[in-house]
Amino acid sequence: MQTILTDSTEEAARILNSGCVVAFPTETVYGLGACICHPEAIGKIFQAKGRPGDNPLIVHIYNLKQLYDVASEINESAEKLIERFFPGPLTLVLKKKQSVPDIVTAGLDTVGVRCPANPVAREFLRLACGPVAAPSANISGLPSSTSWQSVFNDLDGRISCILKGEESPIGLESTIVDCSGPSPVLLRAGAITFEALQKVVPGITLNTGTGKESRPKSPGLKYLHYAPKASIVLCTPLDPITAAPDSAYIGIAPPPEGVRVARHCISPEEYGRELFRFFRLCDAEGIRVIYCELPSPEGLGRAIRDRLTRAAGKESG
Ligand code: TXA
Ligand code: MG
């Protein structure tokens, strides 16, 4: 299949509305979208990514009307979070309407819903024939794509279209909060921090599951994620590092001596934005070991730490 590259939201939406898979930019990472009114197109997403069928997709909406079209119950916590953080980098897990196809939610009775803020994403969703199911636009297991070039590298020839936009300014996937139970639970850390969520819903708790239970809260947690070809070594500024040959470093503390490629970030925001792009750059450069500074689990550090521990093949922490 030929993958059309375009910067026209009209062209991309036309292709989407004809039942095809289209990658599009959002402020977190690029998404790989299909309209939920075309269940056969949703199947093509799983095929293109090589994604296991038991891992549900997030449904992207343009407005509150679409929210009520897919969610059957919106409790008080969800209402408060929507009021404060939609549109933005937040996904809420809510009880689903029956009309949402099972292939989208992997048979769960809940649906993840997100309303992105990126203006190109919003225009694309406005022109779409309905809510758009979209995972991150990468081959399953690899780092998420934060630029259209990364999407192209992974998925050229496997999807119908890439809507070209800017590099994703956040660079880490959305925060996911489960609001389908009596009190909200943070399932995946992201740019909307646990501390910011606590101010709006003080009863929110952290998910203590690993995703490997028989009925995990978030099925995606059990899979290896975000992993470059190089091995990841997690470190703190105090660790003495003798750099291995062909190694690289990313972090906020100054790089150790002897690494071939280094990315010295000035803030957690820059670290988050650069992380996946750096992993992909390291793969292109033939790097074999990447030393990554492990930030403490506060603020955005919690999300970076989560991605790093999972990329390193360890439990999230
Ligand atoms: O920022 C993002 O969230 C990006 C952009 C494109 O919106 N999307 C994204 O999708 O990261 P994906 O599929 O790579 O990650 C979605 C995660 C998976 O771990 C999945 O298991 C979980 O969300 N998820 C989706 N629906 C769920 C549900 N109903 N209940 C629990 N977890 C759910
Ligand atoms: Mg993903």
**CA distances to 128, 133, 233, 278 from 16, in Å:** 7, 11, 40, 30
Residues 6+ apart with CB under 8 A from 264: 251, 252, 254, 255
Q: How many percent of the chain have pLDDT more than 70?
A: 94
Pocket test for ligand 1, best of 102, 148, 218 (most atoms within 8 A of CB): 218
Burial of 161: CB neighbours in 10 Å, binned 0-12, 13-18, 19+: buried
CA–CA separation, 316 vs 310, rounded Å? Answer: 6
CA-CA distance, 148 to 43, in Å (whole number)? 22
Cα 12 to averaged position of ligand 1 atoms, centre (Å):
22
- C-alpha to C-alpha distances, 62 to 87, 125, 157, 181, nearest whole angstrom: 9, 6, 28, 25
Q: What integer pLDDT is reported at residue 98 of this predicted model?
A: 96
Report whether residue 33 contacts ligand 1, using a CB cutoff of 6 Å. Answer: no
Provide mean pLDDT across the span 97-116: 97
Q: Is 293 in the pocket of ligand 1 (CB under 6 A)?
A: no
pLDDT the model gives residue 317 = 36
What does the pLDDT read at residue 136? 97
Average pLDDT over residues 43-47: 97
Q: What is the mean pLDDT of residues 39-48?
A: 96
pLDDT at 113 over 70: yes
- Output the CA 238–ligand 2 centroid distance in Å: 32
pLDDT tens-digit readout, 141-185:
899 999 999 999 999 999 999 999 999 999 999 999 999 999 999
Ligand closest to CA 52: 1
Q: What is the DSSP letter of 136?
A: B
What pLDDT is stored for residue 315 in this prediction? 47
CA of 114 to the centre of ligand 1 (A): 9
Instruction: Measure the CA–CA gap between 162 and 7, rounded to whole angstroms.
Output: 8
Residue 142 zone, left/alpha/beta (φ > 0; ψ -120 to 50; rest): beta
Nearest CA to ligand 1 atom 19: 220
Q: Is the pLDDT of residue 232 over 90?
A: yes
Ligand 1 contact via 96 beta carbon (within 6 Å): no
Query: Tell me: the pLDDT tens digits for 273-306?
Result: 999 999 999 999 999 999 999 999 999 999 999 9
Looking at residue 316, what is its pLDDT? 42
Q: Please write the tens of the pLDDT for every residue from 178-210.
A: 999 999 999 999 999 999 999 999 999 998 766
Q: Does the beta carbon of 56 lie inside 6 Å of ligand 1?
A: yes
Per the prediction, the chain carries an average pLDDT of 94
Distance 56 CA to ligand 1 centre (A): 7
Task: Tell me whether strands 205-206 and 185-188 are parallel, antiparallel or unpaired.
Answer: parallel
Q: Which ligand is nearest to the CA of 168?
A: 1
Determine the residue of 176, 192, 210, 310 to mutate for testing ligand 1's pocket, defined as the one with the most ligand atoms within 8 A of the Cβ atom. 176
Q: Kindly report the pTM of this predicted structure.
A: 0.96
Q: Is 135 in the pocket of ligand 1 (CB under 6 A)?
A: yes
Please tell me the predicted confidence (pLDDT) of residue 306.
95
Distance CA(63)–CA(87), nearest Å, equals 9
Model confidence at 226, pLDDT cuts 50, 70, 90, reads confident
CA of 144 to the centre of ligand 2 (A): 6
